[in-house]
Amino acid sequence: MDDSGASTSRTTLIVVFGGQSAEHDISCVTAAHVMRAIDRDRYNLLAIGIDRSGGWHLAEAAMAALDREPDHPVPLEATGREVSSVPVLHAAASTGPVVVMPLLHGPLGEDGTIQGMLDLLDLPYVGSGVLGSAVSMDKAMTKNLLASFGIPQPRFVALRDHEVTPSRLDEVAATLGLPLFVKPANMGSSVGVAKVSTIEELAPCARAALSYDEWIVCEEAIVGREIEVAVLGNIDPMASVAGEVIPGNDFYDYEDKYVTDGARLVIPADLDERHSDEVRALAVRIFALLRCEGLARVDFFYEPDGRGFLCNEINTMPGFTPISMYPNLWRASGVSYPELVDRLVNLALERHSRRRRNTAR
């Protein structure tokens, strides 16, 4: 204790990474770079990796491997010590202040599932809660909700697996026109996304998307610029400068994001002040409408001579690799990588304290 009576114990950051989704490797790379940025003089660090089968591992060896080769993660099964999730989290919490950083992308991580577990364990964590995470992960629900609030977005059709029939796909193509995009509803990092240029391609692309989720989203192809805004905060969120993605491929796909680094990020985007303010305000509004907290990246298409800014999607746990847009947008806005981690930790603690006041009896 210091002279004021405040505890001097350091906060333990529990970094949870990996997971069972198709974005497992991306999560490992994100975690490696976040762990490198954490100030070990300010925080205790505990890394927990979730393997592809759902096993939880205390990942001391994996941490060392990630430190050596952060962009080439090693299999958790070969490096970590398997543990039971609830006891290890309780044990960490018993040592002093704890914040969990669930750096998981995709289903069973970014979709409200682990957030619900952490709520039951009464542990503060970085990012949105159950509702914001679940709604934002599901592209179909996100689009339907935003449509109800009049948020401009590309035309779309959401289909469940049993609705994907030849006649229904013909209707979708007639409604949206070709080319169009097909996406799994609950997936990120452009996994399973395909651009469909002919009617013959539509059915196989829909089947491929259904291998990731039972819902898919078909969306009109937009000819326009790709603008992204990072949002940070809880009750009073703020927006970063806007950035622009200029894809190296036909569209900003998985390879462009994580393999070839072929896309070019322009930060800040070449927008006049009025349009920059407009898209930043729209990003904050979308963040609030979807009940997001902590952090998110909101992606837009911009039709300069058409409908203006159209919301494409929101990511409640955006990538944190050195080439990722989210940390680069904040760096350009005056927030360094380590400071961004500090802010996220403080937001997690603030949210947890506020929610406990509302739920305590």
Whether residue 328 is predicted with pLDDT greater than 50 in this model: the reply is yes
Alpha-carbon distance 267 to 272, whole Å?
13
* More confident call, 75 vs 85: 85
Where in the chain is CATH 3.30.1490.20? Answer: 156-220
**Residues whose CB is less than 8 angstroms from the CB of residue 46 and which lie 6 or more positions away in sequence, other chains included:** 12, 13, 14, 15, 58, 92
Least confident range from 50-59, 120-129, 136-145: namely 50-59
* More confident call, 9 vs 331: 331
Pick the CATH number of 156-220 from 3.30.1490.20, 3.40.1280.10, 3.40.50.2300, 1.10.3720.10: 3.30.1490.20
Where in the chain is CATH 3.30.470.20? Answer: 136-149+223-339
Q: Check: CATH 3.30.470.20 for 136-149+223-339?
A: yes
Q: Which CATH architecture has domain 11-125?
A: 3-Layer(aba) Sandwich (3.40)
Q: Determine the angle formed by the axes of helices 113-120 and 130-137, rounding to 10 degrees.
A: 170
Residues 300-325: what's their mean pLDDT? Answer: 92
Q: How sure is the predictor about 25, in pLDDT bands with cuts at 50, 70 and 90?
A: confident
What is the per-residue pLDDT across 239-261, written as a single tens digit (0 to 9) for each?
999 999 998 656 544 455 544 45
Which residues are designated catalytic? 23, 189, 258, 297, 299, 313, 315, 319
Q: How sure is the predictor about 3, in pLDDT bands with cuts at 50, 70 and 90?
A: very low
Least confident range from 51-60, 213-222, 308-317: namely 51-60
pTM of the model: 0.88
What is the per-residue pLDDT across 329-339, written as a single tens digit (0 to 9) for each?
999 999 998 89
Where in the chain is CATH 3.40.50.20? Answer: 11-125
First to last CA, the chain: 29
Alpha-carbon distance 190 to 211, whole Å?
14
Query: Taking all residues of the chain, what is their mean pLDDT, rounded to a whole number?
Result: 87
What is the per-residue pLDDT across 103-140, written as a single tens digit (0 to 9) for each?
998 888 899 999 999 999 999 999 999 999 999 999 99
Alpha-carbon distance 101 to 204, whole Å?
37
Is the link from the previous residue into 268 a cis peptide, with omega within 30 of 0?
yes
